[in-house]
């Protein structure tokens, strides 16, 4: 009886401490299983980018114009409708240059940032607007600044973040992403950056939750009897 009372008290008080978080964990799990992660990431609105094929002679000419750096790799792609080449050296990205003029395209301005966002977006975007974020990053963006924040003004609240230095979309956000992110925050209990799954708060809560479950199993021993499973009735019938 003493053990029964002790386990009951532990279970009751632990339930009071962890109960709300258990609801958050369960609700977060439901949200995460119901919403496809591809939709959260906005993959359904990513436009297919055709490959940009360039003659080797043009690449050689470009390298000659920019001073023949020690190239590690060359990548061709369109930047706001302009055929461009991403030149990487041993130190990283040497620069992004227009294929025909060898003009350095980075950092990109507002007009090019809008063009990059439009080319990336497969949905309807009647009148997108761009804003350069230079200091504090918005709550739905956790990358480096400066960054162009391009609102697509569609029906899904889509915002594309375009890096001025990389000349490409680096993050895609929407109302679905923000909804999902809120429950992700509750799930991992990181109310700041929302990306630390190993923070002390969730570790303590998980340990407390384990105590709650173990004490619940302890109560099963005292609360269930053989007659609950019809075991005694079966034994009497067999003896008869």
Residues 6 or more apart in contact with residue 16 via CB below 8 angstroms: none
16 and 52 belong to one structural domain: no
- Domain assignment present for 91: yes
pLDDT at position 239: 46
What pLDDT score was predicted for residue 162?
97
Give me the average pLDDT of each 10-residue run along the chain (240 residues): 70 74 88 93 92 90 90 92 91 89 94 94 91 92 94 94 95 96 90 81 80 74 61 50
- Same domain flag for 129 and 21: no
Residue 60 covered by a domain: yes
Distance CA 128, CA 134 (A): 19
66 and 163 co-located in one domain: yes
Domain count of the chain? 2
Q: Give a yes or no: residue 102 inside a domain.
A: yes
In terms of domains, do 8 and 56 share one?
A: no
Question: What is the rounded CA–CA span in Å between residue 174 and residue 48?
Answer: 19
Look at residues 101, 234, 87, 233 and name the one whose alpha carbon lies nearest to residue 167.
Answer: 87
Name the residue among 164, 154, 94, 91 with its Cα closest to residue 123: 154
User: Is residue 231, in this structure, part of any structural domain at all?
Assistant: no
Residue 205 inside a domain? The answer is yes
- Residue 225's pLDDT is 59
Q: Which domain holds residue 27?
A: 2-37+180-222
Distance CA(26)–CA(28), nearest Å, equals 5
Q: Both 57 and 144 in a single domain?
A: yes
* Residue 76 shares a structural domain with residue 33: no
Has residue 115 been placed in a domain?
yes
- 98 vs 112: CA distance, rounded Å: 13
């Amino acid at each position: 009886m003493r053990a029964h009372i002790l386990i009951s008290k532990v279970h009751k008080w632990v339930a009071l401490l962890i109960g709300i978080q258990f609801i958050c964990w369960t609700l977060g799990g439901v949200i995460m299983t119901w919403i496809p992660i591809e939709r959260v990431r906005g993959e359904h609105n990513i436009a297919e980018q055709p490959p940009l094929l360039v003659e080797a002679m043009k690449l050689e000419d470009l390298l000659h114009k920019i001073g023949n750096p020690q190239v590690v790799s060359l990548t061709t792609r369109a930047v706001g409708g302009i055929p461009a080449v991403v030149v990487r050296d041993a130190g990283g990205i040497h620069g992004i240059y227009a294929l025909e003029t060898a003009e350095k395209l980075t950092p990109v301005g507002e007009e090019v940032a809008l063009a990059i966002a439009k080319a990336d977006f497969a949905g309807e975007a009647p009148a997108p607007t761009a804003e350069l974020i230079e200091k504090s990053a918005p709550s739905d963006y956790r990358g480096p600044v400066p960054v162009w924040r391009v609102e697509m003004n569609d029906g899904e609240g889509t915002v594309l973040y375009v890096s001025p230095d990389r000349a490409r979309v680096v993050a895609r956000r929407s109302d679905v992403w923000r909804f999902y992110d809120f429950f992700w925050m509750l799930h991992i209990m990181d109310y700041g950056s929302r990306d630390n799954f190993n923070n002390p708060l969730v570790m303590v809560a998980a340990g407390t939750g384990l105590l709650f479950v173990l004490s619940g199993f302890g109560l099963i021993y005292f609360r269930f009897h053989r007659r609950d499973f019809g075991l005694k009735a079966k034994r009497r019938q067999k003896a008869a």
